[in-house]
Amino acid sequence: MTQVLIQGLMLSGLYALIAVGFTLIFSVGRVLNLAYGAYLMLGAYVYYYLVQSLHMPKIAGMVLAIAVGALAGWLKYKLLVKRLNGDAVAIEISTLILAVVLQSGVVLIFNDSSKILLPIVNGITRFDGVTITHNLLTASIMSWLILGGLLYFIRYTHMGRAIQAVSMDTKGAQISGVDTEQVNQLTWMISGALGAIAGVFFASYTQLSPSMWVTPLIIAVAVVIVGGIGSIVGSLIVAHIIGFMEISVSTFIGAELRGVFTMLLIIGVLVIMPKGLFGREEL
């Protein structure tokens, strides 16, 4: 039971970090950014290249990976999303295609074999018979710090309130003096940066591969559908439900079934509560 509690808590923090950038974009732009998983892949590969190939310091690798993620988010908004002018279906299809194109780019540069991303922090600790890797512990703590910072930013700063305002009523925000274009650009950059950080942590927890964007995308979609698309707090709570559920299934039933229960949860919530457990389309 201790193992389920500790590992569930750590995995949930990571899942929350993965989902929150996806939620942010949907809330503000009403866009299901299906290329979101590609930010994670991009961030992880940039970090891998800089730290394990060029032997740069880990902190520099992380900062540059975040910068690349933010740039990717900004470029996607400027070159794709803005030009498609609110056509949700076209945006969703094109973002999915973009993810596949980025995957091909990664295969071209790094080939298609899986790679091990060395732990960001080495070492293990044993607590009550449970092995805790310092890497996942760091990922979890960092996730919570980042999520706490993001929630503070959204709730208590002028720009955060502007982001909330755009997510709830674009016209209301415009006539209040909010520069909605600036808010959109910033939101896509934050989403890209969050995806890149999550990607580094996720790859160090699992592995690096060109198809690694699919699983985090499924996690993000699962968290926001079950939580209620657009609700950051709902997403954080559901990330814990899914994280604990996956660890419980792995521990008590079988690791091969952990994803199946997540899918069943999505279907169940869609049928019974289509707006999600905390469903309302705002931050």
Interacting residues with other proteins (CB under 8 A):
158, 161-162, 164-165, 168-169, 171-181, 280, 282
- Closest separation in Å from C-beta 187 to other proteins: 16
Task: Choose between 134 and 280: whose C-beta lies nearer to other proteins.
Answer: 280
- Closest separation in Å from C-beta 162 to other proteins: 6
Given CA atoms 266, 272, 275, 280 in this order, what sign does their dihedral have? negative
Task: Supply the Cα-derived Rg of the chain in whole angstroms.
Answer: 18
Q: Are 127 and 222 in contact (CB under 8 A)?
A: no
CB neighbours (10 Å) of residue 129? 7
Q: Are 188 and 19 in contact (CB under 8 A)?
A: no
Task: Choose between 102 and 163: whose C-beta lies nearer to other proteins.
Answer: 163
State which amino acid sits at residue 87. Answer: D
- Closest separation in Å from C-beta 232 to other proteins: 12
Q: Mapping DSSP to helix (H, G, I), strand (E, B) and coil, where does residue 127 land?
A: strand
Q: Determine which helix (DSSP H) or strand (DSSP E) holds 132, and give its type and residue range.
A: strand 130-133
| DSSP character string of 90-105 | HHHHHHHHHHHHHHHH
Q: Helices marked H in the chain — which ranges?
A: 2-29, 36-48, 58-76, 88-110, 134-156, 158-168, 170-175, 180-205, 214-227, 232-252, 258-272
Task: Choose between 81 and 162: whose C-beta lies nearer to other proteins.
Answer: 162
- Closest separation in Å from C-beta 59 to other proteins: 34
Task: Choose between 40 and 173: whose C-beta lies nearer to other proteins.
Answer: 173
Task: Choose between 45 and 77: whose C-beta lies nearer to other proteins.
Answer: 77
The residues pairing with 115 across neighbouring beta strands, listed in sequence order, are 208
Q: Pick from 139, 186, 193: which is nearest to 165 by CA?
A: 186
The two tokens of residue 261 are 């229960």
Alpha-carbon span 270 to 150, nearest angstrom: 28
- Closest separation in Å from C-beta 23 to other proteins: 14
Task: Choose between 178 and 217: whose C-beta lies nearer to other proteins.
Answer: 178
- Closest separation in Å from C-beta 280 to other proteins: 7
Alpha-carbon span 63 to 271, nearest angstrom: 42
- Closest separation in Å from C-beta 166 to other proteins: 9
Task: Choose between 27 and 135: whose C-beta lies nearer to other proteins.
Answer: 27
